[in-house]
Amino acid sequence: MIGVFSCQKEDDSFIKQEHTSQTSKTKYSITKIDYQTVQQNNRLLNSITKIKEQTGTKGSSTQNRLVHSSAYGFYIDTDVATYMENANGSYHSYTFPIFRDNPTIALENILFSLQADGTYKVSIVSYDITESEREALLNRQYIDLTNKIAKEDIDGLELVDDVFNKEVQKSFTWSYVCECDISEHIGGVDPNTGNLCNCVGIQISITNGTGENNDGNNPGGFPDNNENPHEYPDNSDVPEGENNPGGGVPNDTNNNTTDATSPTYNIPYEQNLIECLGLNSVENANLVVSNWINNPDNFFQMRDVSSYVDRNNCSTEAQSFAMEAIEAMNNGEVESLGEYIALVLNEELEENPFLLLDIDCNQIQNWQSLAQHTAPQSVQDKIENLQENQNGPFGDWEIQQLEDANGTIVNLDYFSVNITQFPINPNTGQPFTPNQFIDYYRRNLNDFVDNTTFEPYCEISTICQQETNLWNSSNPLGAIVKLDIPLNDGVVVCADYNNEFWRFMTLEAPWDSNHPVSGTRQFGIEQMPNGSYNIYVRGVDRFTSNLQENAAYMVGLSNPFFAADNLWESFQENINQFINNNSGTSSINVSVHNRPDWDEVNDVLQGRKPISELGCN
């Protein structure tokens, strides 16, 4: 949500124009909201859809944010809206800009005003103003709106013909409240410059059926110097919680209803984009890009780019990204902004596999060394040698690197058990030391995991004994171990070893083909600040095959690492049980899984956030 302005500070506000004897003091919070926020309101979306369904649609944008109604003859721009809410939240309204194919009025809005029954009353609010007045209004400068506002109620459920038979209402009570952007103003006048301050927010309350006209009371429009501009006059005509116990709209003795709105307008997409990219200045002129922007064939692409720079506040980063995207679309490299974002994201993911993860930057260090781990030269030489001399069917000898995997998700996990007292070694009857315990754990790995067995690689008989001896030795660096995973066996190589930990890297090997995931997993023991120890498994991996990832996604109910988590949780349970059964003391720590925040990724793909928002924070 983009908070643009608010009218909540009473002492900063004053009334610039008052047209009725019944005037306004109720203030609304006014917030400019984006498409995503609009989408969260199902009832509002239903109302918009009804207008769309009732009249038929054409030319909706690629992302369906521009709702076109051919019968009404306008587009509702749902990309941006003004949300107004009264103090106790019992009333709110949404105001969207609307555009017509052949506009005759400078500014038109569609207003969705909450009713007591929870539905929205739909009205078209027209501002019959000049272009310069519109610019002033949108720049939050004061303008005289006397006789310039018209309101037409339409009913999204009624027939189209009825809409056009309705009279445009010009007789209603309205008040126009402006919040000053200078905190030290005197009567809305900047004491330093003597100029009128700008309206940070403009709220217009429209009450039907009073019979009063809005003209004539203040022809000049500017605040009457005789009025005290700091006062909010009496307000019985606008929604207010205490008068409105039922919620929704205020009790009104005259059976009147009040709607709150604020002029809302999106500058044309072309203009917005050209201004943001600075193409209107001589030094930045770029004929190719300007022509692309102004080409009607590129409207929806251009609109997406324009919305993108707008959402990112036309930052330097957004500007250069937009320029590159336009050039890519112009050159035919990509079809749309979304495609370009995906392309750039893919390139960045190749450089930084952690990009999609929503993780604390301090925490990421713990997995960084694993992700960047490469097998020592001796291990690489061994694998190369096996490739040359010990070939077999269904796979070559090759270490599977994390960055070469095809899976979408990078999985970072940490499963540990906290040991406060080491158990007795069943073989010696003496308590384990930390190093002895991790060694015991390695040599008896199968006792500590369920549904999988770790065995020295014996698919090629000539190396079976060598690998068995190496794995059972006191330095298993380079040992090749097979994981018996039903229907999808995997092979790993011990790519690092010391007294505190060892690391397995996944390996493609004859007879067993690829390991289902690519990456590195560390098994170790570490001392904690309080003197206790954690025995742990820490991994960083990614599905080797996208097909397998999708299959696991479907079966695992959208968590493809679901069963792998179960495996390592079984390690936690079994090791905790072993320690406590052998006179030790331990407890299972909460496991850590860092997986992508897909909402954030989706925001980036939809152009709502720049790619730089991804990654650790």
- Helices 337-351 & 316-330, crossing angle to 10 degrees? 110
Tell the smallest beta-carbon distance from residue 490 to other proteins (Å).
8
Tell the smallest beta-carbon distance from residue 521 to other proteins (Å).
12
User: Cβ contacts of residue 209 below 8 Å, gap of 6+?
Assistant: 172, 254, 255, 256, 257
CA neighbor of 141 nearest in space, from 204, 196, 223 = 196
User: Cβ contacts of residue 305 below 8 Å, gap of 6+?
Assistant: 273, 322, 325, 326, 337
Of 315 and 566, nearer to other proteins (C-beta) is 566
Tell the smallest beta-carbon distance from residue 483 to other proteins (Å).
8
Tell the smallest beta-carbon distance from residue 576 to other proteins (Å).
20
Give the three-state DSSP class for 505.
strand
Of 196 and 405, nearer to other proteins (C-beta) is 405
Strand runs (DSSP E) across 12-167, as ranges? 13-18, 29-34, 66-69, 74-77, 80-85, 92-100, 107-114, 120-127, 149-154
CA neighbor of 94 nearest in space, from 77, 107, 106 = 77
Q: Which residues pair with 453 in a beta bridge?
A: 484
CA neighbor of 573 nearest in space, from 413, 412, 417 = 417
Which residues here bind other proteins, judged by CB under 8 A? 451-452, 483, 485-488, 490, 516-517, 543, 548, 551-552, 554-564, 566-567
Of 157 and 555, nearer to other proteins (C-beta) is 555
Of 444 and 451, nearer to other proteins (C-beta) is 451
Tell the smallest beta-carbon distance from residue 439 to other proteins (Å).
25
Distance between CA 378 and CA 196 in Å, rounded? 78
Cα of first residue to Cα of last residue in the chain, in angstroms, is 19
Tell the smallest beta-carbon distance from residue 75 to other proteins (Å).
33
Distance between CA 194 and CA 378 in Å, rounded? 80
Of 407 and 524, nearer to other proteins (C-beta) is 407
Tell the smallest beta-carbon distance from residue 603 to other proteins (Å).
16
Of 550 and 577, nearer to other proteins (C-beta) is 550
Of 466 and 566, nearer to other proteins (C-beta) is 566
Tell the smallest beta-carbon distance from residue 93 to other proteins (Å).
32
Distance between CA 543 and CA 522 in Å, rounded? 17
Of 490 and 510, nearer to other proteins (C-beta) is 490
Place of tokens 């690629």: 62
